[in-house]
Amino acid sequence: MTRLGLELWTLLTLAALLGLGVNLGAARPLPLGRPIDLQVGRGPLSLSEAHGYFQLRRAVFVDARSPEEFAAGHIDFAGNLPARELAAYEWQLDKVEKETPLIVYTDARSPGADRSVSLRLVELGYARVYQLPEGLEGWRARGFPLGTGKP
């Protein structure tokens, strides 16, 4: 093996050992080689369960996208907590009980926005936080209603 190859191999081995060591010592190790469940809060929730909550008005829907995207169309009666500027919008939660189910959603353009908003909601003490599976696209594909209704 060339010297360069040997050096690269050494670096990769050291990194593998460091990574495995950190994972062994972690309170919540990452599963290796199989899919990770990255859901935040309660979950999972199916799309039809979410629709059930929607019809009975039992949950508050939270749009995690930007205010502009929210204005262009969202799930009816959803509130907007943009992941990028959460602090400025959190006051809207003042009137929301901690036991209220919160269903956070995003779309394919802003992947992960629902998770980061959910993390904050859990931090704020909300006990029933879910992410909408398949996001806004899934909701739309099922023909579930969109609108401009305020929460």
CB of 39 to another protein, least distance (A): 10
CB of 96 to another protein, least distance (A): 24
Name the residue nearer to another protein (CB basis): 68 or 97: 68
Name the residue nearer to another protein (CB basis): 7 or 147: 7
Cα–Cα distance between 54 and 77 in angstroms, integer? 9
Binding site for another protein (CB under 8 A): 3-4, 6-12, 14-16, 18-20, 22-23, 26, 28, 30-36, 38, 65-66, 84, 108-113, 115-116
The DSSP bridge partners found for residue 74 are 147
| Residue whose pair of structure tokens reads 């080689």 in the numeric block | 33
Tally Cβ neighbours within 10 Å of residue 142.
Answer: 12
Pairing of strands 102-105, 129-131: parallel
Which of 144, 129, 131, 115 is closest to 48 using CA atoms? 144
Name the residue nearer to another protein (CB basis): 56 or 108: 108
- In the 8-state DSSP scheme, what is residue 30? P
CB of 140 to another protein, least distance (A): 18
CB of 58 to another protein, least distance (A): 28
Which of 44, 49, 86, 46 is closest to 64 using CA atoms? 86
Name the residue nearer to another protein (CB basis): 38 or 56: 38
